[in-house]
Amino acid sequence: MRCVDLTFVVGLGALAAFTEHAARAADVAANLEYRAEPACPAAREFESVVARHLGYSPFRDDAAERVVVQIEASARGLEGRLEWRKAAGALEGERTFPSRTGDCAELVRAMGFALAVQFQLLATGAEPAGPAVPPPTPPAAPVVIASPGPPPASAAPGASTSSGPSLAAGAGASGGLGVSPEATVLGRVFGSATWSHAELELATEISVPSTTRRADGAGFSHQVFLASLAGCGVLSRVGACVVGKIGELRVTGDGVDTPATASGLVLQTGLRLAVTQMLGQRLFLLAHVDTVASLTRGVVTLDAMPVWTTPRVAASFGLDLALRFL
């Protein structure tokens, strides 16, 4: 079910009286400033959504007040923001609209509906009291875009007030340095839960088996198995994370008289920088860079001679393809 998180208060009496007050509503106008992702509808389409609900366009270039509409990509898909600014530029009210589907046309429709209600309530509130008919139910505040009231009793089609996380799963590959004696490739699968500005990720990683040899042909093969947990702060498409990893380094002698297999504990902690690029409503790419410090160290020996010591710092550069479920 597609949904866009909206929170605003609608005066039912004001909605019922809209036709009666249409002439006075035309006096309430604002200058429109519209900024959106390239794949989103253009400004004129947003204006059409608002005008369709009101029966007229409330946007004029010479209006003193200004409405700022901004839609940008976020870790959850898209996020919209409405701002109402006074003539001097002072912020009068604002509202954010997180979208879980990545459908920008749907987000524009929901934001347009909310803004139409805002114009409608402002126009109704500006009318002097009249003795002929009872006044409509007054709004909780002059600017309902910024009203911190309770969850909405009415919302645009396709909207929802759910505050649960957005779930995703994916897989990818990365190049690792400091994981093995040479640069190596790791594959990983992960699952994540994302809120508005926070994310929690659980993943497993396995390196491609590789072999290191001495000049005499003796050597050892090695492979790393890791589980990781990351907690991230998310702003738009960019995430910064604290990462912890635990796993096993497995080493087997190769080309020696008595091959043996040994394993050692791997504990790592560090930081990650990640960037999300949406490919559609639910599919997205995740590029990330991890830098970790090793809390444990191991030494690989051949013929009682050390041939490799695990480094103190490791790094990986990866790209994942993922699907968002909610």
Q: What is the pLDDT of residues 78-100, one digit of tens each?
A: 888 999 888 777 888 888 888 76
Using alpha carbons, list the distances in angstroms from residue 40 to 30, 108, 128, 281: 22, 8, 40, 12
Q: Which residue has the tokens 């996380």?
A: 165
User: Does 243 lie in the same domain as 125?
Assistant: no
pLDDT band at 73 (very low <50, low <70, confident <90, very high): confident
- Per-range mean pLDDT, top range of 4-18, 46-60, 146-160, 212-226: 46-60
d(CA 138, CA 210): 72
Question: Which CATH number fits the domain that encloses residue 312?
Answer: 2.40.160.20
d(CA 74, CA 107): 13
Q: 0.75 exceeded by the pTM?
A: no
- Could you read off the pLDDT of 263-287 as tens digits, one per residue? 889 999 999 999 998 887 789 999 9
User: Does 105 lie in the same domain as 254?
Assistant: no
Using alpha carbons, list the distances in angstroms from residue 161 to 2, 12, 198: 12, 19, 18
- The closest of 224, 298, 222, 220 to 259, measured between CA atoms, is 220
pLDDT of res. 203: 97
Percent of the chain with pLDDT over 70: 76
Note down the domain range covering 260: 166-324
- 249 Ramachandran zone, left/alpha/beta (phi>0; psi -120 to 50): beta
User: Does 244 lie in the same domain as 123?
Assistant: no
User: Does 226 lie in the same domain as 104?
Assistant: no
Average pLDDT over the chain, rounded to an integer = 79
User: Does 138 lie in the same domain as 61?
Assistant: yes
Tokens matching residue 19:
């036709």
Domain count within the chain? 2
- Could you read off the pLDDT of 121-132 as tens digits, one per residue? 888 764 443 344
Q: Largest alpha-carbon pair distance within the chain?
A: 105
Boundary of a domain, candidates 134, 160, 186:
160
User: Does 149 lie in the same domain as 17?
Assistant: yes
